[in-house]
Structure 1
Amino acid sequence: MSADATESWKLTLPCTRDEAEAIDVSEGLEGIAGSPVIITSEEIEDDPDSWRLDAFFSGKPGKAAVAAVRALAPSSAGVKATPERVPDEDWITLSQAGIEPVHAARFYVHTSGNKGDVPPGAKAFQIEASRAFGTGHHQTTTGCLIALDALKVNGKRFRNIVDIGTGTGLLAFAALHLWPRAHATASDIDAAAVDVTRENAAVNGVPLGAGPGTLALAAAPGLEHPLLIGRAPYDLIVANILAGPLIGLAPTIAMALAEGGTLVVAGLLDWQADAVTAAYRRQGLVPSGRTQIGDWPTLTFRKRARYGAARTTRLGPGGANDAPGFGSW
C-alpha cells in the first residue's frame, strides 16, 4: 500500500557549510514528487564541517528524491540516508522551526512560525522558507539589507529602483520601504520566484502596480524584458545573484543605470570581488562601499556622470529628472 501523499517525511543528512551555502533547490529537484523544502543549520558553532541538511517532503520520498537530496551534500556519501515519517503536524512550520529571525540594520525578517519580538523601530517582513532564494538568512541577502539601509542613512534618495534576481522579493520590499515614493521593479529568471514574490507581497502589504510606491514584477533573464527596458534608466539597481552572471551582465546593467546612479551587488565570495569590481569599473562605475559578512562581500558602486559617448537620456517612470544628488539623466 502506498503512503498517503499528505504524509510528512523528513530526510536528515550531515553537510558542510560550503555545501549548505551552495545549495540551489531549483536545480536537480524539479519534477520530483513531493519536492522538498530544504533547511540547513549549523550543528557546532564556527565549525564549517559540522552542518546539517533537513529535507521535508509532503509524501514519502522515492529513491530518485533521496538521491537528489544526497547530491546536495556530497560529504554525506558514507552516511545512510533513511527518510523518517513526521507526525501529523504542519510540516512547513516544522521545517522552519530552527530558523531564527534576522535583524539586519532597521529590518527584521522572520517566518510565520518564529516571529519572536520585533525590535522597537524595526521594519518586519514575514518571509517563509520556500522554493525561492532570499529569506534574509544568507549573508548575501543580509549584506544587501545593511547596504540599502546605509544608503538611506547617508541621505540617498531614489525614484526608480529595480531588484534583479529578486528571489523572495525581500530586497525589493526593503528598498520600497526606504523610498516609499519610488517606482520599484523586481525580476527573476525563475518564474516560480516571481510567483513567490507576489505571494510575499500580499503577506507583507506591499502594493503591486506600475505607479510610484508600488512594485512591478517580471520574469526575465537579466534585463531582457519589455517592462525592464521600458522603465530604465534606474537610479538604484540591486543584483544579488552570482559572480559569473554579475560579470556577464555588467554592460547591460551599467547601460540601464542612470548617470550618478547606485548599484548594489552580492552573491559573490571574497576571492571573486576583484573580478566583479573590474567588470564594473570598465563600464564607468566606481566602488563606493563594501559590506562584509563572513566570506560574502556586498559591493556598492556609483556610475560616473556623462560616462562614454552613448549617454542615457530617456526618462524613467514619471518623467521627472530631478533625482536629488544624482543630476539629470
Structure 2
Amino acid sequence: MPPAFPEIWRLRLTVTPETLAPFEAVFDLYAEAVTMFMEDRTGMSDGDCLWFLEGFSRTPPDRAVVIAGLSAVAAANGIDVPPLEIERVPGIDWVLANLRDFPPISAGRFFVHGSHWRGKPPQGSVAIEIDAGTAFGSGEHATTRGCLLALDMLVRRRRRLRVLDLGAGSGILGIAAAKVWAPKVLCTDIDPPAVRVMAANADNNHVGARVRACVSDGYRNPLVARGAPYDLVFSNILARPLCRFAPDLAAHLAPNGLAVLSGLLERQERRVMACHEAQGLRLKKRILVDGWATLVIGR
C-alpha cells in the first residue's frame, strides 16, 4: 500500500526582491508548485528584504538541469546564482504538523483556528475551524488573510447569492462566505485530495449543505459554467494563472459582481490588473498584508 503522504522534494533559493521573478520562472519549469515568503515575516520591511523561493516536486529534480536553467537566466539578467538547496521532505502530513504550531488568526470578523485549539472565540466573531491537511489554506498566509479582510468589508455592504471559490484549497474562503453571506457556494481545486479536504471542512463548519466542492482545472468543469453568473468570485492562486484566467473570470462574473484576487506580490499588481482591465474590469479596493496584495475588482 502506498504511503498516505508520499515523499516530496523541495528546491530552495534565498534571493533579493529584484531577482525573485527571473528565478521564479525557472522553478516553474521544474517544480509542480512554487511559493515564496519574506525572511522578515513581520512585514515591516514592506518586501525590501531577502526572500525564500521554494519549489515542490513529487519526483526527484535533476540538480544539474535546474542549475543550468538558473545559470542561463542569471546570465541573461546579469545577476549571480545563489546556492541551490534540494532536500527530500519526509512522507508525513507536514502541512498539518506545521498547522499545530500556529496560533488562531483574526481577520476582521473572522476567527480561524485549528481543531487542536481549545480556547473560546472572541465574542461576536465568526469562527472557522480549518485543518488544511493536504490542501493549501489554513488562514495563516497573508493572501488568505487579505481575502478574509476583503470579505469582511463586502459583508457590510450588501448580500450576495452565488459565490465561486476558484482554487479553493482548504475551502476557507468559500466556507467563510457561506457562514455570513451566501446560501450557495461552489469551491473548486485542480487537486482531488484538496477537494476532499474542502468538503470535509465545510461539513465540520456546518455549511456542507451550502458548499459544493468539485475538481476543476480553472473554469473547465461544466459545473462552474452551470452556476454562473457569480456575484462574488474568490481566486487566491498566483499571478500567472490570475492573468491567464482573466477572460474566463469576466465571462462568469455577474454584471454587478465582484472578484477578490490574491496570491500576488505587490510588485505584480500592475501586470495582473492590466490583464483584467483588458476585460473591462476595474480596481475597487486593494489590501496589502506583508507585501502580498489582495485586489477587489468589478465592472
Fold in common (TM above 0.5): yes
Q: What is the alpha-carbon distance in structure 1 between the residues aligned to residue 136 and residue 95 of structure 2?
A: 16
Q: What is the alpha-carbon distance in structure 2 between the residues aligned to residue 83 and residue 215 of structure 1?
A: 33
Stretches of structure 2 that go unaligned for 5 or more consecutive residues are: 5-10, 68-80
1:143 and 2:146 aligned:
yes
Stretches of structure 1 that go unaligned for 5 or more consecutive residues are: 7-12, 30-39, 54-62, 209-213, 304-329
| TM-score (norm. length: structure 1) | 0.66
Matched letter for residue 286 of structure 1: R
Question: What residue in structure 1 maps to residue 236 of structure 2?
Answer: 240
Name the CA shift for 1:137/1:115 in 2 (closer, same or farther; >3 Å): farther
Name the CA shift for 1:110/1:16 in 2 (closer, same or farther; >3 Å): farther
Matched letter for residue 195 of structure 2: V
Matched letter for residue 267 of structure 1: G
Question: What residue in structure 2 maps to residue 256 of structure 1?
Answer: 252
| TM-score (norm. length: structure 2) | 0.72
**Which of the residues 205, 209, 213 maps onto 1:217?**
213
Question: What residue in structure 1 maps to residue 127 of structure 2?
Answer: 124
Name the CA shift for 1:236/1:14 in 2 (closer, same or farther; >3 Å): closer
- Partner secondary structure for residue 267 of structure 1: strand
1:188-208: CA deviations, max 9, x gaps?
Answer: 111121111011112211223
Alignment of 1:164-179 (within 5 A): 164-179=166-181
1:82-130: CA deviations, max 9, x gaps?
Answer: 999x9xxx99875433211110001111112235441111111111142
Name the CA shift for 1:75/1:123 in 2 (closer, same or farther; >3 Å): farther
Name the CA shift for 1:281/1:124 in 2 (closer, same or farther; >3 Å): same
**Which of the residues 96, 111, 114 maps onto 1:111?**
114
**How far has the Cα of 1:43 moved from its partner?**
9.0
Question: What residue in structure 2 maps to residue 228 of structure 1?
Answer: 224
> Is the 1:237–1:262 Cα contact (8 Å) retained in structure 2?
yes
**How far has the Cα of 1:229 moved from its partner?**
0.7
Q: What is the alpha-carbon distance in structure 1 between the residues aligned to residue 51 and residue 247 of structure 2?
A: 40
> Is the 1:14–1:50 Cα contact (8 Å) retained in structure 2?
no
Name the CA shift for 1:276/1:28 in 2 (closer, same or farther; >3 Å): closer
> Is the 1:14–1:75 Cα contact (8 Å) retained in structure 2?
no
Name the CA shift for 1:103/1:227 in 2 (closer, same or farther; >3 Å): same
Q: What is the alpha-carbon distance in structure 2 between the residues aligned to residue 275 and residue 50 of structure 1?
A: 20
Q: What is the alpha-carbon distance in structure 2 between the residues aligned to residue 223 and residue 245 of structure 1?
A: 11
Name the CA shift for 1:215/1:129 in 2 (closer, same or farther; >3 Å): closer
1:293 and 2:289 aligned:
yes
1:184-242: CA deviations, max 9, x gaps?
Answer: 1111111121111011112211223xxxxx11222111111111111111111111111
1:154-212: CA deviations, max 9, x gaps?
Answer: x22211111101000000001111214x321111111121111011112211223xxxx
> Is the 1:101–1:115 Cα contact (8 Å) retained in structure 2?
no
Name the CA shift for 1:82/1:263 in 2 (closer, same or farther; >3 Å): closer
- Partner secondary structure for residue 298 of structure 2: strand
Question: What residue in structure 1 maps to residue 193 of structure 2?
Answer: 192
Q: What is the alpha-carbon distance in structure 1 between the residues aligned to residue 83 and residue 118 of structure 2?
A: 32
Please report the RMSD computed on the Cα atoms of aligned residues, expressed in angstroms: 4.3
Q: Identical aligned pairs, as a percentage?
A: 34
Structure with greater helix percent? 2
Alignment of 1:14-53 (within 5 A): none
Q: What is the alpha-carbon distance in structure 2 between the residues aligned to residue 44 and residue 278 of structure 1?
A: 29
- Partner secondary structure for residue 108 of structure 1: strand
Matched letter for residue 172 of structure 1: G
